[in-house]
A and B are shown apart, each in its own frame.
Chain A
Amino acid sequence: MKTRDQEYRELFMAEALEYYDSMSRHLSELERNPDAGPALNELFRLMHNLKANARAMGFNDLGEVAHHLETLFGLIRDQERAFSGPLIKVVFAGVDALGNMIRAVGANQPLPDATALLENLDRLVRGEAPVLEEVDAPDSEEEANKKMELSDLVYIQVKKLDNLLNLVGELVIDRDRIMTLAQELDNPALLATAQHLFRISDDLQYSVMDARLVGVGVLLNKFPRVVRDVASAEDKEVELTLSGQDVQIDRNILQIITDALLHLVRNAVSHGLETTAQRQQAGKPTVGQLTLSALTERDDVLIQVRDDGRGIDTEAVRRKAVERGLVSAGAAAQLDEKAVWAFLFEPGFSMAQKVTDISGRGVGLDVVKLALDSLGGQLRVESELGAGTTFTLVLPTSIAVKGALLVEVEERPYAVPLLHTDTVLSLHPGQISVVGGVLVTHFQEQSVPLVPLRQLLYDEGDGPLPLATRADIVGPQQVLVVNYNNRRLGLVVDRFIRQQNIVIKPLSKPLDTIDLFGGVTLLGSGQVCLVLDVPALTRLFLNKRP
């Protein structure tokens, strides 16, 4: 696997440079005190490790030099050779050569030739005198400029990166403010500076975001083990295929979805895939296929869990939803399969053992949904009875910046994350009908309920929304169609402002309990803009619909 090779190579380099630094340190100590036992032991050990690691990586020349030095240090340690005279020169030359070889490996260059050095080391091991070339007196300036090598890798706490990201967020908000001021004042010099600031802070923002990215592989590579364990506990044969380990994503996002993904994978093996006997009976290959893949789609990262198991039994889920009183029998019959599957993510729905057995789905899927909601992500389901199920997690690449659509209601701006928006429509009254007190339009062969955003945001109380009538529709209506959990909802707004990238700040206490708002952002004008939480708005609409 490519990623694993890269990982090994990076580990090898980081450790080899560390060994090289320690060797140089211990050599200096040995030069001062030729009887320093601990330094000798360390040199012996470091040579031994470098040899073993280099050979494992296939850098045999490097391994060979380390091997010779290891042998020589073994002899010195056992007092069969003394650390004195020409031996010291050869040993220093040897360690220098190791340093050069390690750097060559790091730079992907061919390793320098070490034949003469190896011959001298052989001579020393045999107890002969080394053949030293006449070397010019070292150029003192060159000696002074001798490079100090530090590892190219820095380990950093995620907390520090979080802090950096927050600061960049603040900077970007001020930048937008300055940009707007510059435009208002119409001062060319100020405008040019503001534009420069704009570009730099943009670069800075992306650099910080980039520093937080890790390969999805760091998570995916943990799953062969999980799958093997669950499969063996369930006595099933499962073949796991991974792909897209190199797709990059913010480290914290990966952290947040870890449990959700674990849940989906376990669920797929224990409920999605059938037993060997059942598969044979169904005429399927005995080994169940499970695929975990990551891919990039526009600005989002998609992580898919696909099985070729029994699929979701839509009718069983529909019956259960009616039994549990989540929907009336009449309404349930009208729902298409995606709308039915959405019940699987209702809290507690899964607890019903019966559905789990029949449908093979639904153990705590609401947990998965919650994790995705907290990220502003989405969960998509595709399933075919008897053929398998695919869960797709749609995730933002970064938590810092989100694309959003700015809309206006009663002269106040609101931001709606693009991840949840399907489309914007300008509807004339003829395209809107009234069904059971709810405004409805047809979009892509689907009935989409419409609700004035104003009513959801400003109407107080828990009572149902007022019954809509045709009289409510005056002139063209601006509608933003949002999508959550496969449910579409049309939000009627006063006007669309524009699309822009926003930096979302969480609401602070006591406002953080208002779940209709996912946070707040500052617009360039300095105006505070609330960010709407589409999942919460959708739930509110479903609770309050007449």
Chain B
Amino acid sequence: MNKRILIVDDSFYMRTMLKNMLTDAGYEVVGEAANGAQALEMATSTEPDLITLDVILPDNTGLDVLKSLRQLQPSAKVVMCSAVGQEVIVTEAIENGALAYIVKPFSEEKVLEIVGAALQNNSPEQAA
């Protein structure tokens, strides 16, 4: 079965680009959330295999969303997305259970490589 992915990013442009890259590669994008509240709601309703999470979101920091996600859907793997300049948050995110991070602007190869590797990894705790 195709792996199911939830995209969390507050930019429609970014979501569209990520979604195209992932669906073209055969993943199923089960939802697109534009803020933290939507992300938590969709993560519960769609139970994705993997979540791409933007570190900077409007109603919440990405980090708080990450912590809630880890509690709500411990089985879902989380990959952080961030533009350069937010390395501090990214480090903290990895400490809080995110498996990897993608730096914007990203290439299709990089996204697929990181997402593929994260999905292969069955025990997120070890990666932290």
A residues whose Cβ falls under 8 Å from a Cβ of B: 4, 7-8, 11-12, 15, 42, 44-45, 48-49, 51-53, 55-56, 67, 70-71, 224-225, 228-229
Asked if residues B16 and A11 are in contact (CB atoms below 8 Å), the reply is yes
Asked if residues B104 and A52 are in contact (CB atoms below 8 Å), the reply is yes
In the complex with contacts A53-B11, A53-B13, A55-B105, A42-B20 CB distance below 8 A: no
Q: How many whole Å from A5's CB to the nearest CB in chain B?
A: 11
A-B contact pairs, 21 of them (CB 8 A): A4-B20, A8-B17, A11-B12, A11-B16, A15-B11, A15-B12, A15-B13, A45-B56, A48-B83, A49-B56, A51-B83, A51-B85, A52-B11, A52-B83, A52-B105, A53-B11, A55-B105, A56-B105, A67-B83, A70-B85, A225-B23
Q: Which residue of A lies closest to B9 (CB)?
A: A49
Cα–Cα distance between A185 and B57 once the two chains are bound (Å): 70
B residues whose Cβ falls under 8 Å from a Cβ of A: 2, 10-14, 16-17, 20, 23-24, 26, 56-58, 83-86, 104-106
Residue in contact with B85 in the complex, picked from A7, A45, A67, A229, CB distance below 8 Å:
A67
Cα–Cα distance between A225 and B20 once the two chains are bound (Å): 10
Q: Which residues of A contact B26 (CB under 8 A)?
A: 225, 228
Cα–Cα distance between A388 and B12 once the two chains are bound (Å): 41
Q: Which residue of B lies closest to A51 (CB)?
A: B83
Q: Which residues of B contact A52 (CB under 8 A)?
A: 11, 14, 83, 104-105
Since A49-B10, A225-B26 are in contact, a sample of 6 more A-B pairs with Cβ atoms closer than 8 Å, ordered by chain A residue number, is: A8-B13, A15-B12, A45-B10, A52-B104, A56-B104, A67-B85
Asked if residues A48 and B14 are in contact (CB atoms below 8 Å), the reply is no
Asked if residues B13 and A71 are in contact (CB atoms below 8 Å), the reply is no
Q: How many whole Å from B17's CB to the nearest CB in chain A?
A: 6
Q: Which residues of B contact A71 (CB under 8 A)?
A: 85
Q: Which residues of B contact A8 (CB under 8 A)?
A: 13, 16-17
In the complex with contacts A15-B11, A48-B56, A49-B10, A56-B17 CB distance below 8 A: yes
Asked if residues A224 and B24 are in contact (CB atoms below 8 Å), the reply is yes
Q: Which residues of A contact B10 (CB under 8 A)?
A: 45, 49
**What are the 10 A-B residue pairs with the smallest beta carbon separation, nearest first?**
A56-B105, A52-B83, A52-B104, A55-B105, A11-B13, A49-B11, A15-B13, A53-B13, A48-B56, A12-B13
Cα–Cα distance between A229 and B11 once the two chains are bound (Å): 29
Q: Which residues of A contact B24 (CB under 8 A)?
A: 224-225
Q: How many whole Å from A535's CB to the nearest CB in chain B?
A: 37
Asked if residues A42 and B105 are in contact (CB atoms below 8 Å), the reply is no
Asked if residues A53 and B14 are in contact (CB atoms below 8 Å), the reply is yes
Q: Which residues of B contact A7 (CB under 8 A)?
A: 16
Q: How many whole Å from A199's CB to the nearest CB in chain B?
A: 41
Q: How many whole Å from A230's CB to the nearest CB in chain B?
A: 12
Q: How many whole Å from B78's CB to the nearest CB in chain A?
A: 19
Q: Which residue of A lies closest to B86 (CB)?
A: A48
Q: Which residues of B contact A48 (CB under 8 A)?
A: 56, 83, 85-86
Q: Which residues of B contact A49 (CB under 8 A)?
A: 10-11, 14, 56
Q: Which residues of B contact A229 (CB under 8 A)?
A: 2
Q: Which residues of B contact A225 (CB under 8 A)?
A: 23-24, 26
Cα–Cα distance between A4 and B21 once the two chains are bound (Å): 11
Cα–Cα distance between A44 and B26 once the two chains are bound (Å): 34
Cα–Cα distance between A48 and B58 once the two chains are bound (Å): 11
In the complex with contacts A11-B16, A56-B17, A71-B85, A42-B56 CB distance below 8 A: no
Cα–Cα distance between A373 and B119 once the two chains are bound (Å): 47
Residue in contact with B83 in the complex, picked from A12, A55, A228, CB distance below 8 Å:
A55
Cα–Cα distance between A70 and B89 once the two chains are bound (Å): 15
Cα–Cα distance between A67 and B11 once the two chains are bound (Å): 16
Cα–Cα distance between A311 and B2 once the two chains are bound (Å): 31
Cα–Cα distance between A388 and B30 once the two chains are bound (Å): 35
